[in-house]
Structure formats: C-alpha cells, structure tokens
Chains A and B, each alone.
Chain A
Amino acid sequence: MQWESSEARFQEKIDQEIKIEPKDWMPEKYRQTLIRQISQHAHSECVGMLPEANWITRAPSLRRKAILIAKVQDEAGHGLYLYSAAETLGISRDEMYDQLHSGKAKYSSIFNYPTLTWADMGAIGWLVDGAAIMNQVPLCRTSYGPYARAMVRICKEESFHQRQGFELLLHLSKGNEAQRRMCQDAINRWWWPSIMMFGPTDDASPNTQQSMKWKIKRFTNDELRQKFIDVCAEQVKFLGMTLPDPDLKWNEERGHYDFGTINWEEFWQVIGGNGPCNQQRLDTRKKAWEEGAWVREAAAAYAEKKKARTPVQQIA
C-alpha cells in the first residue's frame, strides 16, 4: 500500500512539473533508466572527444586549432557534469567506466564513424552537434533535477559548437574546388549516421512510452528526427551543397520534408559493435584508462600521505 502511494505521489509530482531531486523517493526503474541514459550520454561525450581530437594536431590554422581544442575540452567538461549527475543516483564514476570498458554501457553510435578529412570537423559540428541539440534541448526540462540543470549548461555550449561547425563548412564551401569537394564529401558521409542518432523509429523504441510518462523524454524519436531534417534541408542551401537523399522533398500537406528510408541494418550493426571504429574507440579509451592506473594510484597515495602528515606539521 505504502509503495503504491509513493509511486502515486511521485507521478503526481511529475505531472505537476516538480523536479525530482536525488533524495526524493523514485521508482527503481526510473532510477535505472536515468543511470542508463545519463551515463550513456556521459560516455558519448568522452568517446566523442576522440574523432575530433584526431584533427587537433593537423588543424589548418592556429585559429582553427584553438577553436578545436576548446571544443574538445568542452566535451570533456560535459562528460564531467554528466558523470556527476549520474553519481547522484548512486553509481560511481569508476563503475560507469567499467560498464563502458566491458561493453555493457553504450555510447552514441555516431562516434564509431571515422573522421577522414578536415571537413569532418565542420560536419560533426553542424550535423552531429545539431542532432544532439535537438535531443538535448528538451532534456533541459527533464524531470530529474540534476540532469536538467547539467543539460542547460551543455546546451549553451553545444549550440555554440554547432555554429562553429557550420561556419567551418561555409568557409570551405566558398573555398577552392578541393575544399568544396571535401565539404560535400563530409556531408555525404555524416548525414545518414546523424539522422540515425535519434534512435529507432517510435514503433521500434521500447523505452519511449515509459520515459514520456516520467517526462524523462518530451518528444519521440521520430518527432525530433523530423524536426532536425526540416532544419537541415533549409540550412544546406546556404552552403550550396546537397544532402545525400534523392527522396528528400518538401511535402506541402504534411508541412514537413519527406525523406528516404534509413538503413536500419547499418544502425543495428554499428550499435552491435560492427561499425567502422567501434573496436578502435573502445580500445583507445581502455588504453588511456589502463595506462593511467599508476597515475591515479600515485595521486591517491600522495593524498593519503599528505592527510596523514598534516596534523604533525601543524604541531611542529
């Protein structure tokens, strides 16, 4: 009986748009769903550093280099806020890392695609960060307080990244022939994986219903995907480039762009570990973690020694 009333009170709060805070009662499944979603998001930020960091040492101007370093550093910062938000739900950062390294926890599949040319830095900003923002802006109002607050800050930085990415592509689009080709090629490679970022279609997304009821999610995958496609179909015109979808066309009746069939086979393959860079990304994260073990041990040992020594020094 008591459990039922807790659950009812919880849902009442949600319905009244009152934020759930770490010490509040919450259904175990709500907690688990959030841990899964927030940690997955945090891992995406950290793994997502790799494809872009890949171009830091090769950035073609000092200005672009500085922008890129700052951007990748922002992503590490986002990872940090998100791990902290997840920790309020009773899981440690080390446990989350273990889940990432063992393959139990996922991260956004988009980062399993390679960054092959400089134009990819622009395409990631415009399309990948753009898709991320579509997903994330509604999360600023998500029902769990610490997550919502982390997202407010993240969204501000992400929208800045998106504008930088678009500006990079715009510059290439006005450049020489090779640069224009590079620009189109990057859009061609990143377009479909970007629209897959919204996840499976609504009828194939088992968690959506419950997440909507708990107001963790506010819009369905298909709603957000459509919104993103509508925006990009217009923006690409400013670049004088095209999106690689022959079926993309404005549908007056729906008030939206129609688009071609997504290759879900590819989507599930990449999620299942068979994308072009899955192994590479995970190995890189594991290597950094394992090779950093002695550093973390040294830092912990030093902190202990310092703590033990402090009272003695005070007496002296």
Chain B
Amino acid sequence: MSQTMIQYEGKIAQIVQEDPMLQFLLYAGDNALITGHRCSEWCGHGPILEQDIAISNIALDYIGAARNFYQLAATRIQAKDPSLEVTEDTLAYLRDAWDFKNLLIAELPNGDWAQTTIRVYFISSFQWLFYQQLTQSSDADVAAIAEKTLKEVKYHLRWSREWVIRLGDGTEESAKRLRQALTFLWPFTGEAFKEASYETATSSATTIQLAKLHELWKQELQEVFAEAGLEVPTQQAFQSGGKTGKHTEYLGYILAEMQFLQRAYPGASW
C-alpha cells in the first residue's frame, strides 16, 4: 500500500510499446474505465431513484472490469522488469490521453438519459460479442476475466436494450431525443470493428475476429432498432482514433478530473 507510485513514462511505456498483448489489455481496461467514469457521473442525478442505483451499479461493474485488466497488465509489466513498481493505479492515473486506447464513443459526454442509455447499449452490445469470443482465448488469465465480465455485460446489455426500446416506443419526446442521440453517436459506432495493430498481432491468442463480430452486431441492432422504431443509419460510422491514442477533446478533461489527486500529490498513497 505504501509504495511510491512511479511515472508511466520511460521503462513502463517502453515495455507496453513492445508487447501487443499488454496494449490489448490496456485497450480493454481503458474502455471499461472511461465508460464507467461517464456512468458514474450520473450517481445522485438519475431521473428515477431505481435507475440511479442501476447506472451506479453499471459504473461499478465497469470500474471492476478495468481493475481486472489493469492488474493483469501491471503484473505482466512487472514480470518483465521486477525493479519496476507498477500497479493498476499507475496505469489508470499516470498515463496521459495519448496513451489511453479506449473507443471514442466511451469518452463522449453523457448528454441526456437517451444519449446515455443508447451509448451503454452500443458499447455493451459490442462487448457482449467481444467477451464471448474472448472467453475462448488461449491466454487463460484473459479468458478468465472475460468470463467474469461477460456475466456483467449481459445485464448491461439487457438494461440498455430495454431503455432503447422504452424510449423509442415511449412518448413523442422520448423518441425524438433517442433519434437525436443516435444521430450524434452513430459516427462513433464503427471504431470498435476497425482492427488496431495490437488486435491483429494478438488475434490468434484472443480469438477475436472483428469482421464476424461486426456482422453479428448489425443483426442485434436490426432487431432492437425495429422494436424501438428506429432506423439503422445507412451512413458510414467514420470516427476513429481512440484505439491508437488519438482522442476527442473530452478525454483530457476526464483525465484532468480523475487524476487530479495523484498529480497534485505525487507519490502519495491513498
């Protein structure tokens, strides 16, 4: 507990740079952390007390998943150089935006309840497929995290799917807000399926085939959107960059807030 936290720069960054599986772990962890961060912003401000609890619970699941991936990455980094002291918090709190690999869609602002729930829907419907494949990974640690996370994602998907349908088929206003949210988020829904170099390099170990996931995901969307009375947009979802560290302006502010204490009191243990 009392070890001094060291900087991410230098040796740790170099080890990550040379190991695509570590990059993959950070990608998975960052998606969870940043999505969880956004969901946690609702805590105390939800439209219905029960839903306040639900979205805080989802936030907690995501933070938990992030910790699992970061802890595994930290252990492996340290195994490569036992002189390094690296923990889950080094990875969450001491990297700058360009080293974060989360999908852009995770870092966009919450907006209203429609934008929040359809964002969770987009992310969890992708993750539901992603983690199913990942449970087959030849990397036993990764497969075990995927197994555990999959149970949580199943709930996130059910919850967000229900909200998309409920808002789409609720009142005129809720349907309008949902369409606006869809228009805003749609360009960011393609990035998950664009393979980053570390995904290509690790695909035999992770067993993830993004092209196949993309097909299954489109089917999922067809069904749910039909029930919600939404059209699946035909334009290309062209926004990307997060996976390789090129983010929106929003991420910098998330990190400024999240990392404030670690940055203001370097080396302190909390």
Which residues of A line the B interface, CB within 8 A? Answer: 46, 49-50, 53, 56-66, 69-70, 72-73, 76-77, 79-80, 83, 118, 171-172, 174-176, 178-179, 284, 287-289, 291-299, 301-302, 305
Please indicate the chain B residues that have their CB under 8 angstroms from the CB of A291 in the complex. 47, 112
B53 engages A73 (CB within 8 Å)? yes
Number of A-B contacts (CB under 8 A): 138
Considering the complex, give the chain A residue whose CB is closest to the CB of B38: A57
CB contacts (< 8 Å) of A58 on chain B: these are 257-258, 260-261
**Alpha-carbon distance between A21 and B70 when the two chains are bound, in angstroms:** 51
Among B235-270, those with CB < 8 Å from A are 254, 257-258, 260-262, 265, 267-270
* Contact digits for B176-214, partner A, Cβ 8 Å, 1 yes 0 no: 010000000000000000000000000000000000000
Cβ contact within 8 Å between B88 and A175:
no
Q: Which residue, of B92, B173, B177, has the highest number of chain A Cβ atoms within 10 A?
A: B173
**Do A299 and B261 touch (CB < 8 A)?**
no
Q: Within 8 Å CB of B64, what residues of A?
A: 66
Interchain CB contact under 8 A, A73 and B56: yes
Could you tell me which B residues sit within 8 Å of A by CB distance? 1-2, 33, 37, 40-41, 43-53, 56-57, 59-60, 63-64, 66-67, 70, 88-89, 92-93, 112-113, 165-167, 169-171, 173-174, 177, 254, 257-258, 260-262, 265, 267-270
- B170 & A299 in contact (Cβ 8 Å cutoff): yes
A295 engages B67 (CB within 8 Å): no
Interface of A is mostly: helix
Q: Give the distance to chain A from B209, nearest Cβ to Cβ, in Å.
A: 31
Residue picked from B48, B50, B262, most chain A C-beta under 10 Å? B48
Known: A57-B258, A69-B56, A175-B268. A298 touches B167 (CB 8 A): yes
Task: Supply 17 A–B pairs (Cβ within 8 Å), ascending by A.
Answer: A46-B49, A57-B37, A60-B93, A60-B261, A61-B89, A62-B92, A69-B40, A69-B63, A70-B60, A80-B49, A171-B269, A171-B270, A176-B267, A179-B268, A294-B177, A295-B167, A298-B170
**A284 and B177 alpha carbons, distance in the complex (Å):** 22
Q: A61-B89, A70-B60 are in contact. Are A302 and B170 (CB under 8 A)?
A: yes
Whether A56 contacts B265 in the complex (CB less than 8 A), given A46-B49, A61-B93, A298-B167, comes out as: no
Across the interface, which residues of A come within 8 angstroms of B59, CB to CB? 69
Smallest CB separation, A116 vs chain B (Å): 13
Q: Given A56-B40, A61-B270, are A292 and B56 also a contact pair (CB < 8 Å)?
A: no
B270 x A60 contact (CB < 8 A): yes
User: When chains A and B are docked, how far (Å) is the Cα of A173 from the Cα of B15?
Assistant: 35
Asked if B174 and A76 make an inter-chain contact with CB atoms under 8 angstroms apart, the answer reads no
Residues of A within 8 A of B260 (CB): 58
A66–B66 Cα distance when bound, in Å, is: 11
A46 to B46 CA separation, bound complex (whole angstroms): 11
Q: Are A65 and B45 in contact (CB under 8 A)?
A: no
A66-B67, A80-B49 given as contacts; is B89 within 8 A of A73 (CB)? no
Residues of chain B with a CB closer than 8 A to A174's CB: 2
Inter-subunit contact A57/B40 (CB<8 Å): yes
Extra 14 A-B pairs, beta carbons < 8 Å, given A76-B52, A298-B166: A53-B45, A65-B40, A69-B56, A73-B57, A73-B60, A79-B49, A118-B261, A178-B265, A288-B44, A289-B47, A294-B171, A295-B48, A295-B167, A298-B167
Chain A residues with CB under 8 A of B56: 69, 72-73, 76
